Amino acid sequence: METQHSHHHDPEEKKRQLNRLAKAIGHLKHVQTMIEHDEDCADVLTQLSAVNAALKSLGKEIINEHMTHCITHAIADGNLELVEEFQKAVQKFI
């Protein structure tokens, strides 16, 4: 379920998040190549661990940014539905 909100995210923060995501995608593509070339399974797992850590870190940044801006605005606007939806999303993430 996608929820729309009426404000925009900080362009610099968005740029940082997209850059981190691009790096994670690059690492994941490298994992794909490693598997295709039958590289050592331990090395593949190490790279997958790095991808997981990068995505988890990105998720934490998004949670923090969302709480700082979006949720603050939602509470100020009395939009408790948005707050509840975000809580559900965080539970899925963790």
**pLDDT at res. 48:** 95
**pLDDT at res. 4:** 56
**pLDDT at res. 90:** 93
Closest C-alpha to 58, from 27, 20, 22:
20
**pLDDT at res. 69:** 83
**pLDDT at res. 23:** 92
69: Cβ–Cβ under 8 A, 6 or more apart, which residues?
7, 9, 10
Q: Is the pTM of this model over 0.85?
A: no
- CA 27 to chain centroid, in Å, comes to 15
Count of H-run helices and E-run strands, the chain: 4, 0
Domain 12-93 class? mainly alpha
**pLDDT at res. 68:** 86
Query: Residue ranges per domain, the chain?
Result: 12-93
Counting as low any pLDDT under 50, the low residues of the chain are 1
